[in-house]
């Protein structure tokens, strides 16, 4: 998709992105970015009159399952993989100092 691409200052773009590019990288990226900008110019020619703007190409639907009440885990099953348990709770190392 090469051709007459819009004017592109690769040094300015690299500076904005905080990238240190070699001369070879500048040439490669300038060509690639130029191709992208040329394609965008082609898209500007497409008539989109009457087309509603969207955030997604496909309809986004709710994929959550129904919220149905169910019996809870028995305490023994919930604690079976806990490294330590006491009084139906998981025992963890203390992370807060009482001196305050």
| pLDDT 10s digits, 16-70 | 999 999 999 999 998 898 899 899 999 999 998 998 888 878 887 777 888 899 9
Tell me the two tokens of residue 9: 């200052």
Q: Is the dihedral of CA 22, 23, 25, 26 positive or negative?
A: positive
- In total, how many domains does the chain have? 1
Q: Is residue 83 part of a domain?
A: no
Position 36 in a domain: yes
Lowest mean pLDDT among 31-35, 44-48, 87-91, 94-98: 94-98
Indicate whether 29 belongs to any domain. yes
Residue 40 lies in a domain: yes
* Helix spans in the chain (H): 10-16, 23-44, 75-78
- Over the stretch 77-86, which tens digit does the pLDDT of each residue have? 999 999 999 9
Domain that holds residue 37: 10-44
């Amino acid at each position: 998709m090469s051709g007459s691409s819009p004017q592109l200052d690769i040094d300015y773009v690299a500076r904005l992105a905080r990238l240190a590019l070699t001369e070879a990288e500048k040439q490669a990226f300038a060509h690639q970015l130029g191709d992208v900008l040329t394609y965008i110019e082609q898209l500007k020619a497409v008539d989109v009159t009457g087309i509603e703007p969207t955030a997604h190409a496909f309809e986004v639907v709710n994929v959550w399952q129904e919220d149905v009440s169910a019996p809870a885990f028995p305490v023994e099953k919930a604690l079976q993989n806990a490294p330590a348990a006491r009084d139906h709770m998981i025992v963890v190392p203390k992370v807060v100092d009482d001196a305050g």
